[in-house]
Amino acid sequence: MSAYPNAAAVTADSESADPCCDAPLPVLGRDVTVPLVTGGEVTYAALDYAASAPALQRVWDDVAAYAPYYGSVHRGAGYLSQLSTDLFENSRATVAEFLDCRPGDQVVFTRSTTDSLNLLAQVLPADCQVFVFETEHHASLLPWRDARVTYLDAPRTPAEAVETLERALADRDPHGPALVCVTGASNVTGELWPVRELAAAAHAHGARIVLDAAQLAPHHPVSVRELDVDWVAFSGHKLYAPFGSGVLAGRADWLQDSEPYLAGGGASRKVARRADGGVDVEWHTTSARHEAGSPNVIGVYSIASACKALTEAGFDSLVARERHLIAKVREGLAEVPEVRVLSLFGDDAPRVGVISFVVEGWNSSHFAAALSAEYGIGVRDGLFCAHPLVRTLLGSDPQDPGECGAPEAAPGERSLNAIRVSFGVGTPDEHVERFVGAVKELVRDGAQWKYRTEDGRCVPDRG
């Protein structure tokens, strides 16, 4: 029980429910209108959740309710400082519950998934080998600069992923400490990875495993215990809490045995001068060891608020509705012969609301620009910070350029990037219906406007 009972009062009284919104949870910006290059305005269809999801209205309301009570955390004797400290630590407990952490696990607050995995990379024991599939987001692919890394080829089935990992772990030499890094859901194809089976394979060969849950946690429940992963990382801005915080949660030993990720106030318990003029430091052994500096209280609280909102809404119903949206998009795209949906594991693979595709005769940047300018639909085009995976799926040479390319490319020219549509709990049916209709119309009739390349991006030519 909080020593400051009024801390509960900073939670908003209601969720600001919108009776006109058929999405399960209202999000901020759901009524924003944007201009169309062809004239008029339309309600913006935000279909780029995989890059950064809009804030839940509940999260925004909770943050606004807390903001007047903001105070320094762990460092003040005043009422607001004590209230904020309670809020911060209660948020840590909320995240641990959301992730179903084990007793003794630590929840460390970071800036993002990228920051979390870079933190973990800094605490690896000496001579640790890292195993990572080429299919990973760069946040998982690149942090291991001081370790010996084995990059595994893209598997074409979940079973092949497990077999590939088992062979690599069994063949490692020397047979010392090892870490496997794997995504829970691909940020390119949306496909779910066999995390529990990969964790079992890792542990059978004396390795540990970290789960990149950036794309999984917003869509499915994540249980550290059931998946039997050693750590999990995710970002607030993917989880409807875009206020600059992330999470690394899991086993404490490697975290406690390493030097702090950042040195400074908050990470240190005691600092004293030595007789020789130097300084002795005693570092915390708790999560604070890796949380030096003044923490992002609002960012942390927003994550906790989102965790509560998703849990209270019920993942069973959220997953069921998302499957309905996935089916609507995939069935619509399947009716367009010129569209090729990208996939590793095949059409029947379970997935979250992330779908990437290319369109014959179109450069992907041109197509995405037309969706935005002519239909008010925001999607993503490019290689999605997963360059090796997208290149593998497109069958391109590793040396081929991946820039957006000229919109006036000849019909039929292969695009060296792709288009990604992604959605979540704040997406109404109308947004995906508009998207499917726009794809069909663009393929059938072409763009209504002319476009040009500006600073590497396709933009409407207003000249």
Q: Which residues are catalytic?
A: 385
Cα(first)–Cα(last) distance of the chain, in Å? Answer: 63
* Residue 436 half-sphere exposure toward CB, CA atoms < 13 A: 17
SS3 at position 15:
coil
Q: Which helix (H) or strand (E) holds 439?
A: helix 429-445
Torsion of CA 460, 364, 416, 406, to 10 degrees: -20
Give CB contacts under 8 A, 24+ apart, made by 411-416: 411/361, 412/360, 412/361, 413/361, 413/363, 415/358, 415/359, 415/362, 415/363, 415/364, 415/365
Helix 158-170, helix 195-204: angle, nearest 10: 20
Distance in angstroms (rounded) separating the CA atoms of residues 460 and 448: 10
Give CB contacts under 8 A, 24+ apart, made by 72-78: 72/294, 73/294, 73/295, 73/297, 74/266, 74/288, 75/294
